[in-house]
Amino acid sequence: MDFIEASITINPYSEENAGIVTADLSEIGFESFCEEDPLLKAYIPLNRYSEQDLNTVLGGFSFSGFRVSFRTDLIRESDWNSEWGKEFNPVVVTAGENGCGCTVKSRHEGKPARTKYAIIIDPDMSFGTAHHQTTKMMLQYMLEDRHELKGKKLLDMGCGTGILSILAAKIHCAVPVEALDISTRAVFAARRNASINRVPKLVRTVRGDSTILEMGRYDVILANIPGKILIDDMSTYSMSLKRGGILYISGFLTDEVTALTEECGRNGFKVLSRKEDEDWAALKLEKLNFVPR
């Protein structure tokens, strides 16, 4: 599959402005993003690209307090995979007692991992390489709570390349771990990576959004997705979790935490802990036995 790369110049550039653009582009099918100040690079499969839609979305920012300009290029899949595979550097995340660790590396990286867990991914244009702060914080939470997660029915919402789902399978969450993503490409990538890591039967990956969640089914939900989507779907997460269930969320900036915690409170969640890495944040929440009215 070939892709369109949109290189978007944001002036003034900030992670908040880039996040706003990312959220709007996601609505028209862009499914992978890379921030390179002052550029935001966005990718969409060629067969889903609409120049008119892109012009409409980016043209709407002229009254938003910042300006954008862009150019587009055709990227061949073979070129992308070969180049990214060569440049993908392993990521090591440690957390919990005794510094329990997880290494995320490309299948092109031959050196063995020196951590308790190792996740091998096929470099892909879908979300999730563990380089971003939000993915690292989610991995830290999982490593810290790995004993409590064992045997739990777990959902990975917006699974991307499947990194969180694969770690969940390796720390023996209830089988199968459920992985969900709206992107067809992400679903294929997650399935492929589950096979590479020899857990294809332990991760069930499907395409869809929060509307297909089963009410009251899950012990744990992981959601590393933009803050606006988290707020919109919070009531669904609440209804989908069992009483006492745990919700881990990231994918949002620190200045979005107040709005998120307020929405969580309205839907019966109690904040248990908070993490921050640069301008990004993550929260661990517990579903209470009641929903405040």
CB atoms within 10 A of CB 242: 15
Strand bridging mode 218-224 / 241-253: parallel
**pLDDT cut 90: percent of the chain above it:** 49
The residue among 132, 119, 226, 140 whose CA lies nearest residue 182 is 226
Contact 240, 209 (CB under 8 A): no
Residue written as token pair 């990521």: 91
Q: Which of 61-75, 138-152, 198-212, 254-268 has the lowest mean pLDDT?
A: 61-75
Exposed, middle or buried: residue 279 (CB in 10 Å: 0-12, 13-18, 19+)? middle
Give me the pLDDT at residue 13, please.
86
Q: Which residue has the higher pLDDT, 104 or 186?
A: 104
pLDDT in tens, 106-119: 876 767 778 989 99
Two structure tokens written together for 39: 């550029």
User: Which domains can be identified in the chain, with CATH numbers?
Assistant: 3-75 (3.30.70.100), 141-287 (3.40.50.150)
Is the full-model pTM beyond 0.85?
no
For 207-249, how does the pLDDT look when each residue is reduced to its tens digit (9 = 90+)?
Answer: 988 888 888 889 999 999 989 899 999 999 999 999 999 999 9
Could you tell me which residue, 66 or 287, shows the higher pLDDT?
287
Residue 268, token pair as written in the block? 């019966």
The two structure tokens encoding residue 146: 């790995």
215 Cβ contact list (under 8 Å, min separation 6):
239, 240
CA distances from 152 to 40, 109, 114, 131, 270 (A): 37, 32, 27, 27, 19
Highest mean pLDDT range out of 29-38, 56-65, 213-222? 213-222
- Kindly give, in sequence order, each residue whose CB lies less than 8 Å from that of residue 47, ignoring residues fewer than 6 positions away: 1
Confidence (pLDDT) at 144? 94
State the pLDDT confidence band at 96, using cuts at 50, 70 and 90: low
The Cα 54–Cα 57 span in angstroms is 5
Q: What does residue 171 show for φ and ψ, rounded to 5 degrees? A: -100, 15
Binning pLDDT at 50, 70 and 90, where does residue 39 land? Answer: confident
Determine the average pLDDT of the residues in 261-273. 96
Cβ-based neighbour number of residue 121 at 10 Å: 25
Residues in CB range of 23: below 8 A, 6 or more apart: 226, 228, 229
Pairing of strands 3-11, 67-75: antiparallel
The residue-averaged pLDDT of 38-55 equals: 88
Average pLDDT over residues 48-74: 87
Alpha helices, DSSP H only, in 36-76?
51-59
Q: What is the pLDDT of residues 164-201, one digit of tens each?
A: 999 999 998 888 999 999 887 788 889 999 999 999 99
Give the max Cα distance, the chain. Answer: 55
